[in-house]
């Protein structure tokens, strides 16, 4: 059992003993600028650089502690009937009648971020990335593997219901986001419309359906040994949902319009999800049908594109790295294109590379967007480590023009991003709530910022909740493990609840970070 972290007494007033898994961590580390990456074909030079880089303030135990609470965060996002072993105990049951007005059971799943809507596209992507984290780095999770699997199952149980309740239909959202965002209510009180949105043959959503298929397929790999019957159920549902996505093509943004836009519009279209979904079904099922699908459709679904953003919307870089393993492991010629484009993506991230084009803050943080930038940091970091694993197990390197980059160099770059999030940055602030002794106190999150139902049993209405949004007091309920949107391009962060761009957490920020933390927790 980890020991408690020193936190502000105001912040901790509604933490139960179970909640106080905020861990004893090192004093705020001294900020260090890393030396610029050196590119060389000399393995000894790169190894020397890597060893120098790895001497930081964080230990493997620190990463293990962060891993524990990065998974614990998901319990604060749960919708539905909470189990007896719920550890974020300030939360209560919510959304218990979701779907009932439409004669379907859609209880469960996750709220995506700081609101009370269950958005299907980011939830499915979160699930895929949690599963991928376990697939690649589960052997390093030690006593947290059970909690990681529980976090995945909480979502897949919901996705199974959404995918199998009605033939040729996928339920993709519960809650009217426009109405929800007009209120500041804890989920236990919400009385905004719980509208249900679906995609069908007539109103297709290949993007959200193929992502759902990817999530179910990836999760089937996770549970293959621990729960074979559940794994089989997941894979069976994944094949059906993918077939539905492929047969009835179209974007869910076109079918559902203002219910999903501008919140989670499918800006990249649906082709990337179809290839991503097929790739996961290929990996999960070993069915030659999906290999043939990838070979036949890859060129029209993004295999020839160089894309530099991996997120809930755009799956192209992730697909390429996932499929590159096929070439690295088996030298399957048809998959060499995925290795080449994976190299292009990775090289774009590495300062000093001839194809370097990524932006970093003065403090060294990967920077992609003004809103919720850390989602791109965590997803990119996960891909760096996964590709490093694939390369390392095959003695491969990433080819960047005339130079090469080794797996060790990718790990060093990933570590810098992880350490920045955990507090090795100019602000000397951890962007993971509950980690270290300085972290965001005014998180943009309804349930965390409004007094819990245990502290304030009487209902707090839609409009009455806004006093807590605008309050200068720290959140009364600590959303332990949440990673917020993060600092701007000058490393500046406003700990302001109303600044959702920087202070709002999301499930898809945490999901890939689970894998990254597991990797570093196993390093000495």
Length of the chain: 524
Render 187-250 in DSSP notation, one character per residue.
Answer: TTT--S---EEEEESSS--HHHHHHHHHHHHHHHHHTTTT-HHHHHHHHHHHHHHHHHHHHS--
DSSP-based three-state secondary structure for 171: strand
Q: Which residues contact 5 (CB under 8 A, 6 or more apart)?
A: 22, 23, 24, 25, 434, 435, 436, 437
**Active site (annotated) includes residue 495:** yes
Going from the C-alpha of 505 to that of each of 120, 147, 405, 455, 484, the distances in angstroms are 17, 20, 33, 23, 4
**Active site (annotated) includes residue 504:** yes
Q: Which residues contact 288 (CB under 8 A, 6 or more apart)?
A: none
> CA 516, CA 512: separation in Å to the nearest integer?
7
* φ and ψ of 444, to 5 deg: -75, 90
Residue-wise over 397-431: b if at least 16 C-beta within 10 A, else e?
bbebeebbbbbbbbbbbbbbbbbbbbbbbbbebbb
Give the closest residue to 65 by CA, choosing from 508, 403, 407, 435.
435
> CA 283, CA 330: separation in Å to the nearest integer?
13
Q: Which residues contact 509 (CB under 8 A, 6 or more apart)?
A: 372, 374, 375, 378, 483, 484, 485
Set 176, 272, 419, 504: catalytic member? 504
Q: How far apart are the first and last CA of the chain?
A: 20
Angle at 327 between CA 516 and CA 38, to 5 degrees: 55
Residue 105 burial (CB count, 10 A): 15
Extract the tokens encoding 166.
């009605």
Peptide bond into 262 cis (omega under 30): yes
Contact yes or no for 43/392 (Cβ under 8 A): no
Set 305, 306, 495, 496: catalytic member? 495
Set 188, 444, 445, 491: catalytic member? 444
DSSP E strand boundaries for 253-380: 359-360, 366-367
Render 478-523 in DSSP notation, one character per residue.
Answer: --TT-B-----TTS-----TT-HHHH---HHHHHHHHHHHHHHHT-
Q: Which residues contact 422 (CB under 8 A, 6 or more apart)?
A: 58, 62, 66, 430, 431, 432, 435, 436
Show which residues are catalytic: 444, 495, 504
């Amino acid at each position: 059992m980890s020991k408690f972290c020193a936190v502000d007494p105001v912040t901790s007033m509604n933490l139960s003993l179970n909640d106080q898994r905020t861990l004893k961590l090192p004093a705020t580390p001294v900020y260090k600028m890393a030396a610029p990456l050196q590119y060389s074909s000399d393995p000894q030079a790169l190894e020397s650089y890597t060893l120098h880089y790895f001497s930081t303030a964080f230990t493997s135990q620190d990463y293990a502690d962060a891993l524990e609470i990065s998974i614990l965060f998901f319990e604060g996002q749960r919708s539905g009937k909470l189990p007896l072993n719920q550890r974020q105990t300030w939360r209560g049951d919510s959304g218990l009648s979701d779907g009932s007005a439409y004669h379907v059971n859609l209880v469960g799943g996750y709220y995506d971020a700081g609101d009370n809507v269950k958005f299907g596209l980011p939830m499915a992507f979160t699930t895929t990335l949690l599963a991928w984290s376990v697939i690649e780095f589960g052997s390093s999770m030690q006593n947290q593997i059970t909690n990681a699997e529980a976090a995945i199952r909480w979502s897949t149980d919901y996705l199974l219901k959404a995918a199998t309740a009605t033939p040729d239909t996928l339920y993709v959202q519960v809650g009217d986001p426009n109405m929800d965002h007009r209120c500041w209510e804890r989920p236990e009180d919400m009385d905004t419309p719980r509208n249900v949105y679906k995609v069908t043959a007539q109103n297709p959503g290949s993007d959200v359906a193929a992502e759902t298929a990817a999530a179910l397929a990836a999760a089937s790999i996770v549970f293959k040994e621990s729960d074979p019957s559940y794994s089989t159920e997941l894979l069976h549902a994944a094949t059906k949902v993918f077939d539905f996505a492929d047969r009835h093509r179209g974007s869910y943004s076109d079918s559902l319009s203002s219910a999903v836009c501008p919140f989670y519009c499918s800006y990249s279209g649906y082709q990337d999800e179809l290839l991503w979904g097929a790739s996961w079904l290929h990996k999960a099922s070993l069915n030659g049908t999906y290999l043939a699908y990838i070979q036949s459709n890859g060129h029209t679904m993004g295999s020839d594109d160089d894309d530099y953003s991996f997120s809930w919307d755009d799956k192209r870089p992730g697909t390429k790295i996932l499929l590159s393993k096929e070439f690295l492991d088996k030298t399957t010629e048809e998959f060499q294109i995925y290795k080449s484009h994976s190299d292009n993506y990775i090289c774009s991230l590495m300062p000093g590379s001839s194809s370097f084009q990524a932006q970093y803050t003065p403090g060294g943080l990967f920077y992609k967007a003004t809103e919720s930038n850390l989602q791109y940091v965590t997803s990119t970091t996960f891909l760096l480590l996964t590709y490093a694993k694939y390369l390392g197990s095959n003695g491969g390197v990433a080819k960047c023009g005339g130079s090469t980059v080794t797996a060790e160099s990718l790990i060093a770059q990933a570590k810098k991003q992880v350490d920045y999030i955990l507090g090795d940055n100019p602000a000397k602030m951890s962007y993971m709530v509950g980690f270290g002794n300085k972290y965001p106190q005014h998180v943009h999150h309804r349930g965390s910022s409004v007094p819990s139902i245990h502290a304030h049993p009487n209902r707090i209405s839609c409009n009455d909740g806004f006093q807590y949004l605008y309050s200068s007091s720290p959140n009364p309920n600590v959303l332990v493990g949440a990673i917020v949107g993060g600092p701007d391009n000058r490393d500046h962060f406003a700990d302001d609840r109303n600044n959702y761009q920087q202070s709002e957490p999301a499930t898809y920020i945490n999901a890939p970070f689970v894998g990254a933390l597991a990797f570093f927790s196993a390093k000495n």
